[in-house]
Structure 1
């Protein structure tokens, strides 16, 4: 008994077929104009360029206080940390 499996769709719902794969491969081999590519979503820039991720270890009490403050202000923990760091450094 053979089962006919439907092609897996792309995020836009288009089925990924051999024809589509060949078409996309041909486009890629021809090269892309990087300036013409549409910018996708993602995180907005913070300041003049991409932001760095800086891991920080917090003890449980400090983490709980951060979580409470972020929830009370309806903000993310990262927003609260950035604002606190800016205030401490007196940076704009």
Structure 2
């Protein structure tokens, strides 16, 4: 291991590496791992549809600024704007 290796800002130690190796050698519960699910959680009963949207640099900058001010994601803001427009 090279000096300074981190995971999420936390240093990786030789003891941690040994713990991971021991865990791997003991084996994993594959059915439990597969049961966790993959990808983002759904927003409803049906799978969501991904829609591509082209924005100018200015539009994207304004969207990002509003997202930062309101502590929301781009997607949350766009969905809220569509819901307000359709209401």
Instruction: Return the alpha-carbon distance in structure 2 between the equivalents of residues 84 and 73 of structure 1.
Output: 13
1:66 correspondence with 2:63: yes
- Measure, in 2, the Cα distance between the counterparts of 1:78 and 1:47: 15
SS at match of 1:87: helix
Q: Which residue of 1 aligns with 2:13?
A: none
Aligned-partner Cα distance in 1 for 2:24–2:37 = 18
TM-score by length of 2: 0.58
Which protein has the bigger helix share? Answer: 2
Aligned length, in residue pairs? 64
Aligned position for 2:39: 42
Q: Secondary structure at the match of 1:40?
A: coil
For each residue in 1:47-77, what CA deviation from the matched residue of structure 2 results, as whole angstroms up to 9, or x when unmatched?
A: 2211111000001111111000111111110
Q: CA deviation at 1:41?
A: 4.9
- Superposition RMSD on alpha carbons, in Å? 3.0
Compare CA radii of gyration and give the structure with the larger one.
Answer: 1
Corresponding residue for residue 81 of structure 2: 84
Shift of 1:42: 3.1
1:43 alignment partner, SS class:
coil
Relative to total residues, which structure has the larger strand share, 1 or 2?
Answer: 2
Identify the residue that residue 54 of structure 2 maps to in structure 1. Answer: 57
